A and B are shown apart, each in its own frame.
Chain A
Amino acid sequence: MNPLAVYVHIPFCPSKCGYCDFNSYAMQGEIVERTARAIIREIRESPWAGRPAKTIFFGGGTPTFIPAPLLVEVLNAVTDTHPPLPNAEITTEANPGTVDASKLETLRAGGFNRVSLGAQSFDDGDLVRLGRVHRAGEIERAVRAAHEASFDNLNLDLMFGLPDQSRAAWRANLARAISLEPEHLSLYCLTIEPNTPFYKLHLRGELPLPDDEQQVAFYEDCLERAAAAGYEAYEISNFAQPGRECRHNLCYWRAEEYAGYGPGAVGAVRDPALGVRVRTTNLKHPERYACAIEAGGPAAYESEPLDSATLQTERVMLGLRLAEGIEVDGLDEGALSRLARRGWIERDTGRVRLTRAGRLFCNDAVVELI
């Protein structure tokens, strides 16, 4: 059977950050374990059971918010249901404030082989403003602990374009992240999403964000400093040492199949009965999700069959984010030459990819091509 990527969503956080629009809840008590049990049941009753896992990714929320043994139990459910391919990448996201050496050891021993740390900034002022529960010092401690627990594949998430952030402050952040020598860096420009506290502040004009121009300059810093330190910009916001690209995320960007388990998790798997790929979204609220699973019902509340035109749109939208680009076949020649004239794309050997200038206008390029 064809392997697929497996995503597990742990929807809990110690607290909710001001910019975050992910499906996460600052809940405690009985619901946490109950949800984990429901996730285990969902996985074990999966219609895709038996399909091997190419990659496994635990995201959130904060997966490490729940006890490490429980997280390992969930992982066991995944590996029982989806036997991992040899050397499969098995990642968990972690908050530097919610991990310590023993927790990380349990996770490593339980099968995880990659950790993605939500560092965000090395400036405590930024961290407070963002609503993060950890402090800069904890990032370095978490990295050391991960190494001690013999994790040899680490990612650090950092954000730029933060309120009042100067270019010098960003460069300092970047330098500190690089000095920790993670195998992978995710460098995101802060995006103001609707329905977040930051959005409200932004509407009221109370969020002094760097303008376009500055954001572009911050991004230039990412490209330059990361390249100088040996990281390849293999995706718009993702940088990796050679061979350390996040294989799980590559599956998304290459528009491959993925199963999603847990509250609000999204999957896109070919449904053999329908003969098309179907994107399903699970019930978002842990309580409702758990109830649905406990009642033996499906956890999905939404399903969207992806016809070939939609899939092609997604291939363009996702694939253009990658340095490897997408196949030229099936793309509109007129649109391609318009983009080439603007210096946004380059082509060779049947593929098209964004240039450095084009990366900044990725959405415009996609709109031209779809």
Chain B
Amino acid sequence: MDQAHIRNFCIIAHIDHGKSTLADRLIERCGAVRGAAREQMLDTMDIERERGITIKMTAVRLSYKARDGGVYELNLIDTPGHVDFTYEVSRSLAACEGALLVVDASQGVEAQTIANASLAMTQNLEIVPVINKIDLPHADVARAREEIEHAVAIDASGAVLCSAKTGEGIEEILEAIVHRMPPPSGRPDAPLRALIFDSHFDSYQGAVAYVRVVDGSVRARQKIRMMATGSQFEVDSVGVFRPSLEVGAALETGQVGFLTAAMKTIGDAAVGDTVTDAERPATLPLHGYRRAKPMVYCGMYPSDTDHYEDLRDAIEKLKLNDAALHFDPETSVALGFGFRCGFLGLLHMDITRERLEREFELNLILTAPSVDYVVHRTDGSTLHVANPSLMPPPTEIASIEEPTVSASIMVPTEYVGAAMTLCQERRGIYRRSEYPSPLRVILHYTLPLAEILLDFFDKLKSSTRGYASFDYELSDNIQTDLVKVDILLNGEAVDALSFVVHRQFAYGRGKAMVEQLRKVVPRQQYEVRIQAAIGAKIISAESVKPYRKNVTAKCYGGDVTRKRKLLEKQKEGKKRMKQIGSVELPQEAFLSVLKVGD
């Protein structure tokens, strides 16, 4: 296939604007999947389906006979739809020449629409606006068009109108892809350069790299080198996505497909890395490689300490398929042996936990998430602290830096006040506002990363009746006045419950945390005193009264099975409890800090 008949494109949209449905229609129309269309074909993992989001992107090759009579190879590259995965989005965009910018005709432009569109523009993609859901009764095409022009700053006069639901406009979209998006323009004779934009791990073939061939070509038996990591492999197979993997002879310049090369870990096929020919290497890699950097850390411990090895094996297995997951062994006085794990965001953390529990049948205790603090000590040394319990005593700290994000929040004008108040409460620094349309404002803030980890987005949504959208990217560290708050149970500090907070909020958070714990700590045979402390100073205290009896009054022949099942259930519940000193804590106690509102 010559490059002139190849189009590589992606679909960018705000969540729920119909990206997956549109992808399904395009796939259907081009006959890539025969028989009954499976809804939202690109989202393959169960958890993705349940949550209605795309975590793991994939690609599909479509064959389209255009109105001009030519047959085109269209590669649709899917992108993840959540702020946690911004870097992965940028790599999949880099594999394309064009992007369909999908805007819901009833919702208009939202924060992610803009964030992803500006990413696409930085990659010099040809953006074709698509106004979707025009079948809805409250669709407002004119307003959507206006917002695209104002907020995204692209010409929306040629926006394609469609309804992915009814199939209207699908043909026009395919024509726009063929005629408005440029073909790839790589050099077929140059040394191989292929961008890895995604990967997955297969237990038989090792890491499967999803590549976009930029220059040259790649085929089986070829020796290749990863330019960032320097490792070399021999290609086992190459092929394309239909959307299942289909082995072929070669991937030529401009094409999108996969390659396997007995790569033992997903790190061997690092997203963003450039594949080149080992014997005839390119001089320069494709630009934009970045090592996936965790934003959030938490401790993960098996609730049964005997399962430490199982947990390690399970995390290692997940890591095979998730280059962004970081982990190091750590120990906790309260919880024993476990791991400090790094994630791209809370969603990533949650999905990882869910997969470990579901796929590996582990019972886990997660400690409160923390960011990576940089601590300058009085002795001049510098320390990274991602585990609050390892924060040095105040006397040894000269200063602490914490990571921040630049956040953009789009809200209808009537909610600007509410959104700004929330940002202020979360120690936000106001940067500027934009007015993409008369009814909408984009607020730009610098916010401490730690502040948005908690319930920021939920709070934002509730204070704006769900209208706000939110996007962020990591920014610089700033110096802050932070303190560590310890939580004591019956006088003993529980390291896994410590958290770091701005001094100004220490009292309020400490109190809220103690109250939350009082709600989740079950009554025990002894009184449980719960205290929050900064150093030796107690800032809040509560207690859980003991229960004085736990006995069934009546138990006769007819009750036996039911009573037995109740006790068996209690036994199961007890297994999920963690004995901390004399106190039994349920798993959720360790995540109490997440539930602490202000």
Chain A residues close to B by CB (< 8 Å): 5, 7, 9, 23, 188-191, 212-213, 215-216, 219, 236-237, 249, 252-253, 258, 260, 264-268, 279, 281, 304, 310, 313-314, 317-318, 321, 342, 359-364, 366-367, 370
B165 to chain A minimum Cβ distance, whole angstroms, is: 44
Question: Known: A212-B547, A313-B568, A317-B567. Is A258-B557 also a contact (CB below 8 A)?
Answer: yes
Question: Known: A367-B571, A370-B567, A370-B568. Is A279-B560 also a contact (CB below 8 A)?
Answer: yes
Q: Quick check: A304 and B570 within 8 Å, CB to CB?
A: no
| A–B complex contacts, Cβ < 8 Å, 20 sampled | A7-B557, A23-B558, A190-B553, A191-B553, A212-B547, A237-B553, A237-B554, A264-B558, A266-B561, A267-B557, A268-B560, A310-B564, A313-B564, A313-B567, A313-B568, A314-B560, A318-B555, A318-B560, A321-B555, A363-B550
B526 to chain A minimum Cβ distance, whole angstroms, is: 11
B548: chain A residues within 8 A (beta carbon): 212-213, 215-216, 360
Q: Quick check: A367 and B567 within 8 Å, CB to CB?
A: yes
Query: Does B556 sit within 8 A of A, measured CB to CB?
Result: yes
Interface of B is mostly: loop
Chain B residues close to A by CB (< 8 Å): 525, 547-558, 560-561, 563-564, 567-568, 570-571, 574
Tell me which of B553, B554, B561, B574 contacts A367 (CB under 8 A). Answer: B574
A362: chain B residues within 8 A (beta carbon): 550-552
Q: Quick check: A212 and B549 within 8 Å, CB to CB?
A: yes
A21 to chain B minimum Cβ distance, whole angstroms, is: 10
| Closest residue of B by beta carbon distance from A235 | B555
- In the assembled complex, the Cα of A361 lies from the Cα of B567 at a distance in Å of 12
Q: Quick check: A216 and B549 within 8 Å, CB to CB?
A: yes
Q: Quick check: A361 and B549 within 8 Å, CB to CB?
A: yes
Apart from A7-B557, A212-B548, what 20 extra A-B contacts exist at CB < 8 Å?
A: A9-B558, A23-B558, A188-B553, A189-B553, A215-B549, A236-B552, A253-B555, A260-B557, A260-B558, A266-B561, A279-B560, A279-B561, A281-B558, A313-B567, A314-B560, A360-B548, A361-B525, A364-B525, A366-B567, A370-B567
- In the assembled complex, the Cα of A237 lies from the Cα of B547 at a distance in Å of 19
- In the assembled complex, the Cα of A317 lies from the Cα of B569 at a distance in Å of 13
A9: chain B residues within 8 A (beta carbon): 558
B572 to chain A minimum Cβ distance, whole angstroms, is: 10
A253: chain B residues within 8 A (beta carbon): 555
Interface of A is mostly: mixed
Q: Quick check: B564 and A317 within 8 Å, CB to CB?
A: yes
Q: Quick check: A359 and B551 within 8 Å, CB to CB?
A: yes
A134 to chain B minimum Cβ distance, whole angstroms, is: 20
B365 to chain A minimum Cβ distance, whole angstroms, is: 21
- In the assembled complex, the Cα of A85 lies from the Cα of B446 at a distance in Å of 87
| Closest residue of A by beta carbon distance from B559 | A266
A237: chain B residues within 8 A (beta carbon): 553-554
| Closest residue of A by beta carbon distance from B523 | A212
B433 to chain A minimum Cβ distance, whole angstroms, is: 49
| Closest residue of B by beta carbon distance from A304 | B561
Q: Quick check: A252 and B557 within 8 Å, CB to CB?
A: yes
- In the assembled complex, the Cα of A263 lies from the Cα of B557 at a distance in Å of 14
Q: Nearest 6 A-B pairs (CB), nearest first?
A: A212-B548, A360-B549, A362-B551, A266-B558, A363-B550, A189-B553
B525 to chain A minimum Cβ distance, whole angstroms, is: 7
A212: chain B residues within 8 A (beta carbon): 547-549
- In the assembled complex, the Cα of A191 lies from the Cα of B550 at a distance in Å of 12
